[in-house]
Amino acid sequence: MKREKAVTFKGTPMTLVGPEIKVGDKAPDFKCVNGPTTTVSLSDTPAKARLFSVVPSLDTGVCSMQTRKFETALASLKDKVASYTVSLDLPFAQKRFCADPDHPVTLLQPISDVHDHSFGKSYGVLLEGLALPLLARAVFVVDASGVVKYVEYVSEVTNEPNYDKAVEALKSIA
């Protein structure tokens, strides 16, 4: 399934591969990697409120800002929620980013969709037509039973998501 002109990237209309996830849908499964020999699927995440913050690359300003803003916003929830940053960055690069001594990221666990773009295709965030595969910017909140409670596909990939609404949705089910 493809959704033409679903988002823009630097003003250019882009096609997203995969379905449009809606509130009330069962969260699709995925298989990402978080190291050279380990994978993470939806069933590997704890059965509690979960936030999936999807970014094109942690090595860009807006993606870095998004990850750090969610890290700060979720600090008060600690272990009541599970939170993840999903990108196509290699796990090594994700871990390096999270280990930055000036801005450590410890609450959002990085997971990489680099292997087969399973997350991107299942959640409808894989950008089609770029020379380098990237995921569109999006946020998904999933409850303990695996039901999607909040979705935001950011219409312009270079813009930030609505942090307040995503955190509010997460807090309401935590």
CATH number at residue 131: 3.40.30.10
Q: What's the confidence (pLDDT) of residue 134?
A: 96
**For the chain, what is the domain count?**
1
Closest CA to 166 of 67, 79, 94, 18: 67
Q: Looking at the chain, how many residues does it have?
A: 174
Angle (nearest 5°) at CA 37 between 81 and 124: 55
What pTM did the predictor assign?
0.96
**20, burial (CB in 10 Å: exposed 0-12, middle 13-18, buried 19+):** middle
Q: What is the pLDDT of residues 88-139, one digit of tens each?
A: 999 999 999 999 998 899 999 999 999 999 999 999 999 999 999 999 999 9
pLDDT of residue 36: 86
The mean pLDDT value of the chain amounts to 95
State yes or no: pLDDT of 150 exceeds 90: yes
Looking from the CA of 169 toward its CB, the CA atoms found within 13 Å total 22
Between helix 61-73 and helix 163-173 the angle, nearest 10°, is 40
Q: Which tokens sit at 53?
A: 């913050």
Half-sphere exposure of 23 (CA within 13 A, CB side): 7
- What residues are labeled active site? 63
In terms of residue numbers, what domain contains 124? 2-173
Q: Which helix (H) or strand (E) holds 96?
A: helix 91-98
Instruction: Copy the structure tokens of residue 51.
Output: 């936030």
For residue 8 the two structure tokens come to 């823009």
